Structure 1
Amino acid sequence: MSILFTHAYYLSDDPKEQKIMKPYPPLGLLYVSAYLKSKNIDNAVFDTTFSSQIAQLDYILEKQPKIICIYTNLMTKIEVIKLIKFLKTERYNFPKIVLGGPDVTYNVDNYLKAGADFLIIGEGEETTFELYNAILSGGNLNQVNGIAFIEDNQIIQTQARNKFKELDELPLPNREAINMQNYLATWKNNHGKSSMTISTQRGCPYTCKWCSTAVYGQSYRRRPANQVAEEMKMLKEKYHPDALWFVDDVFTVSHKWLIAFREEVMKQDAVIPFECITRAERLNDEILQLLKDVGCFRIWIGAESGSQTIIDAMDRRVDVNQVKKVIQDTNAMGIETGTFIMLGYPGETEKDITETIQYLKDANPTLYTITIAYPIKGTSLYNDIEHKITTQPDWETSTDREIDFKRTYSRKYYKYAVSKVVNEVEFHRAISKTSIKALKLKTKSILATGLMKLNK
């Protein structure tokens, strides 16, 4: 075997995900695999999600690939580095290690020093194809755009690669390379319905400071609506999923595209229930009805905070009242809603958190998630707070989530703030239903409030 694609996410090592059990396949790797396949380059994918590092290493030992391409992100980085150190030994015949993914762009030095031979910076399809040919033929690596490597003890980073302009040139992800039934069955057994992922666009035109655009850039490129509908039809007939998750950053960014999408999905009998993410200002009654017509059952509408002050600090460029109304309108349309909340953003105060609690009560999203803000290297947020970093753990054994910086209050304060927000919102929802449950929630909220004060 000349080239193998793999990653380092092991469900068996993730206690949190074992409680959630909503895994999805490595779609990016499957796109690159399909692209090489379209160029008549035979390749394999070792999907680690339902496997283990031991089984992965045994497979590599058996197949002896010359090149191993590994996807890495901030969540899997630690395991990726462990994997590299195993592979860079005589036992595995020193294969060329190629890394790609969002975490490499702003960590070039670190990943190369950790043992990677090459980094693919940005979109991976064309770069992997050209790098593969250069490695096997002994070609000039400096002529391969979008890579980084070490030569004569110097880090070389070649010219950035131009992004795909026409996404219809990309083949569909090579889903046949992995056992999709593992994912479908896991979803079905744990949630009563199966789900698959699908991508229609690359890039995001918005400027949120905390968000990384390391791979696809601040752009907007989209596959033709008829091609997306064809893929949905194929998934429907081949895999029979109960739902789809559109992984696009802002699914409704183009209303013109959505109109064409509805027409094609209906014409091709490709309707599958789906959920997506978007922004409030890209929704209105007509678009909500359009989405409902083609099977949308849940929309995640970004807010990040209930405080306009914090939203402006994030450069979200949206009115919190507009977000609230759109969530309410979506609920009224019979479509479930979800929203994302981030606490501990630079400058956030107790007043901002109180406003966030009220926002969640008023908007009443079906689902919401809460995280404590952390700076991803390469983002505007990281650049803004770099001089305020108070905790910078060892890079190889930690992730960006563990970086801490000087905030209005301590990080522990915001940990308890998460508890307060959840319990206050759930108390609001439960108060008219079960008095005992409501009392427990209120007690937890009061306790969290007290702990917040102790940890300011």
Structure 2
Amino acid sequence: MVMRTLFLQAPSFDGYDGGAGSRYQAKREIKSFWYPTWLAQPAALVEGSKLIDAPAHDLSFDDIKHEAAQRDLVVIHTSTPGFKQDVRVAGMLKELNPNLKVGFIGATVAVDAAWAMANAPTVDFVARNEFDFTILDVAKDIPLADIKGISFRNSEGVVIHNEDREVLMDMDSLPFVSPIYKRDLVMENYFIGYLKHPYVSFYTGRGCKSRCTFCLWPQTVGGHNYRTRSVGHVIEEVKYVLKAFPQMQELFFDDDTLTDNRPRVEELARELGKLGVTWSCNAKANVPYETLKIMRDNGLRLLLVGYESGNQQILHNIKKGLLIETAKQFAKDCRALGIKIHGTFIMGLPGETKDTIQETIAYAKEVNPHTIQVSLAAPYPGTFLYKQAIENGWFDGTDHLVADGGGQIAQLTYPHLASDEIFEAVAEFYKKFYFRPSKVGAIVAEMATSPTMMKRRLREGVEFFDFLKNRNTEAA
């Protein structure tokens, strides 16, 4: 018998993407919600399970509390910014049903299971690292003492750390996540500013060979070995998505860097081309023209690219493995091929100064992505950046990554650059990039393409200006 299992992204801040899919667990400048793929994957393994993504569906605790009486097991995806709120939700569910077994998954518990158990007294167990089949074992009601990859509280209240589970290599052994989206989620509730709406996203593999010091998933859960599903397995899920979600406008592959394996991405692109799919993916700014052309010719519309900084030394400091000149040529090639780029940048990385901030803004204007995202350097526990911040005394004294309302804060401060200066640089970056005649003109032209795009960009514009207006208040 399988336990009656609920997979939960718990209610949290209004508009906050808590971490079941988001790489930066915070409220964004415009409404953004990623699919909770990390929850949907084990949900697909557990027969009769249910997935609730409360933030994306605007659900409060009162909206979900009835589930406590209907379930034997609740699995909550948590993150460093949302941990305290998730612990609170776990406690309230336990009050309603003391027999309920509650477990946490996610990067923050994978990094320090002992800390997590000590600070979550009502949680029965946490699943470390990759947790798909670990959670399946729990749902089968196998004794916790016999399950690899978990830390649990025994009957005496003592925390036991079982041996690690082996890294999953056969990615085709995982079932599709998209049927769980279809069963439990409302796809129209998922918005990403640079993707067509509505969209669907899922992974074709896990892990990233790059060593970026700030990046959360490869250093905590996914690892640096890029393990992939077979192209045939991916295409079968794409075919399912096309039938199940006829309203889908774009498919996004959420692998950390889909272009890490160029022969595979070329093969995948050719198969996608046969299906007539419009698709996008994460990429490093070093993909050669020939590969980009194959991707473009077979339905690629947009690449999500982490430029991070326009200063070469900072890129070396964070082990980005990317040369500025290579990235500039990549941008030119994408422009020539008509591939749109959503570029991401980070303020406050090690080596940042007032001058490098301006250098990065100028660089962003030069490579000129279609849209950008500017984030604050976030020292998540488990990352090399976090270790550096501890060793060098870079923390500004706070113990969290978001403000009370869920917006990002600048948690790092340097002798030559204070955290408030880093924080203010984000708004300056956005203004200098978007408030240019050429960029304003491009946005207006895009709005003129359809009434739907007009309505969407106007909504996003209101959210963006509210973001600029309110961020100083939220950080105070």
Q: Give the TM bin, normalised by the shorter chain.
A: 0.7 to 0.9
Query: Unpaired runs of 5+ in structure 1?
Result: 435-447, 449-456
Q: Aligned to 1:419, which of 427, 432, 441?
A: 427
Deviation at 1:160, TM superposition (A): 1.5
1:122 Cα shift? Answer: 1.2
Report deviation, 1:231: 1.0
**1:308-350 per-position Cα deviation (integer Å, ceiling 9, x unaligned):** 0111111111101211221121012101112111111122112
Q: Which of the numbers 270, 280, 294 marks the counterpart of 1:290?
A: 294
**Matched residue, 1:53:** 61
Distance 1:87 1:378 in 2: 29
**Is structure 2 residue 39 aligned with structure 1 residue 29?**
yes
Which residue number corresponds to residue 187 of structure 2? 183
Higher relative contact order (CA 8 A, sep 6+): 2
8 Å Cα contact 2:196-2:249 kept in structure 1: no
- Match for 1:35: what amino acid? L
1:319-398 aligned within 5 A? 319-387=323-391, 388=393, 389-393=395-399
| Matched-pair contact (CA < 8 Å) for 1:301–1:323 | no
Kindly indicate whether residue 132 of structure 2 is the aligned counterpart of residue 125 of structure 1: yes
Q: Provide the rounded CA distance (Å) in 2 between the counterparts of 1:18 and 1:397.
A: 12
Q: Does 1:196 align with 2:200?
A: yes
Matches of 1:318 and 1:348, distance apart in 2: 17
- Which residue identity lines up with residue 279 of structure 1 in the other structure? K
Name the CA distance, whole Å, in 2 between partners of 1:402 and 1:188. 21
**Separation of aligned partners in 1, 2:410 and 2:153:** 28
Q: Structure 1 length normalisation: TM-score?
A: 0.84
- Higher mean displacement: 257-266 or 419-428: 419-428
Q: Tell me the number of residue pairs that the alignment of Structure 1 and Structure 2 aligns.
A: 421
1:165-210 per-residue CA deviation (whole Å, 9 max, x = no partner) reads 1111111116346656722366599997310112101011110001
Give structure 2 stretches of 5+ with no counterpart.
18-25, 443-467, 469-476
- Match of 1:340, SS state, is strand
What is the DSSP-based 3-state SS (H/G/I as helix, E as strand, rest coil) of the residue aligned with 1:341? strand
Q: How far 1:223 sits from its partner (Å)?
A: 0.5
The question of whether the paired residues in 1 share the 8 Å contact of 2:7 and 2:52 is answered with: yes
More displaced, 182-191 or 350-359? 182-191
Residues 272-308 of structure 1, C-alpha deviations (whole Å, 9 max, x = no match): 2122111122x11111111112211111222100000
With structure 2 as the length reference, what TM-score do the two structures score? 0.80
1:112–1:397 distance in 2 versus 1, CA, 3 Å:
farther
Which structure 2 residues correspond to residues 54-453 of structure 1 after superposition, within 5 A? 54-61=62-69, 63=70, 65-89=71-95, 91-113=96-118, 114=120, 115-133=122-140, 136=141, 139=143, 141-151=144-154, 152-173=156-177, 175-176=179-180, 182-184=186-188, 193-212=197-216, 213=218, 214-240=220-246, 241-266=248-273, 269-281=274-286, 283-387=287-391, 388=393, 389-393=395-399, 404-407=411-414, 408-430=416-438
Equivalent AA in structure 2 for residue 274 of structure 1: W
Q: 2:411 & 2:194 partners in 1: Cα distance?
A: 35
The 1:348–1:11 alpha-carbon spacing in structure 2 relative to 1, beyond 3 Å, is closer
Q: Structure 1's 188 and 130: CA in aligned 2 closer, same or farther, altered over 3 A?
A: closer
1:302 is paired with a residue of what secondary structure? strand
| TM-aligned CA distance change 1:24 to 1:55, over 3 Å | same
Question: 1:128 and 1:384 mapped to 2: Cα distance?
Answer: 33
Distance 2:386 2:208 in 1: 19
Deviation string 1:431-453 (CA, Å, 9 cap, x unpaired) is 9969xxxxxxxxxxxxx9xxxxx
The amino acid that maps onto 1:272 is: V
Q: Describe the SS at the equivalent of 2:160.
A: strand
**Alpha-carbon shift at residue 400 of structure 1 (Å):** 11
Structure 1 segments of 4+ aligned residues over 6 angstroms from their partners: 188-192, 394-400, 431-434
1:196–1:244 contact (8 Å) kept in structure 2: yes
SS at match of 1:339: strand
Q: Aligned partner of 2:260: which letter?
A: V
Does the CA contact (< 8 Å) of 1:229 and 1:270 recur in 2?
Answer: no
Taking the aligned partners of 2:196 and 2:135, their CA distance within structure 1 comes to 38
For 2:43, give the aligned amino acid. S
Question: Residues 77 and 429 from structure 1, CA distance in 2 versus in 1: closer, same or farther, beyond 3 angstroms?
Answer: farther
RMSD over aligned Cα atoms: 3.1
- Asked if structure 1 preserves the Cα contact closer than 8 Å seen for 2:81 and 2:402, the reply is no
CA contact (8 A) 1:187 1:193 kept: yes
Alpha-carbon distance in 2 for matches of 1:190, 1:261: 22
3-state SS in 1 of match to 2:221: coil
Task: Tell me, yes or no, if the aligned pair for 2:434 and 2:440 is still in contact at 8 Å.
Answer: no
- Note the C-alpha offset of 1:13: 5.1
Distance 1:191 1:253 in 2: 22
Deviations 1:39-79 (A, max 9, x none): xxx32223323122211112323x1x121111112353333
Cα distance in structure 1, aligned partners of 2:435 and 2:403:
39
1:103-159 alpha-carbon deviations (Å, 9 max, x no partner): 2112423431312110001112211122333xx35x3x3432111123445432222
Indicate if the aligned counterparts of 1:305 and 1:342 stay in contact, CA closer than 8 A. yes
Contact 1:33 1:174 in 2 (8 A): no
Taking the aligned partners of 1:75 and 1:296, their CA distance within structure 2 comes to 34
- Specify the structure having the higher radius of gyration (Cα): 1
3-state SS of 1:5 partner:
strand
Corresponding residue for residue 5 of structure 1 = 7
Against the structure 1 CA distance between its residues 404 and 181, is the aligned structure 2 distance closer, same or farther, given a 3 Å change threshold? closer
Residue 260 of structure 2 aligns to a residue whose secondary structure is coil
* CA contact 2:44–2:180 (8 Å) conserved in 1: no
Q: 1:19 and 1:317 mapped to 2: Cα distance? A: 28
Contact 1:372-1:415 within 8 A present in 2 as well: yes
Separation in structure 1 between the aligned mates of residue 63 and residue 184 of structure 2, nearest angstrom: 18
Aligned to 2:455: none
Q: Provide, for residues 200-226 of structure 1, a one-character-per-residue CA deviation record: whole Å limited to 9, x for no partner.
A: 010111100011221111211001111
Q: What code does the residue aligned with 1:194 have? A: P
CA distance in 2: counterparts of 1:45 and 1:412, whole angstroms: 39
- 1:102 to 1:295, Cα distance in 2 relative to 1, 3 A: same
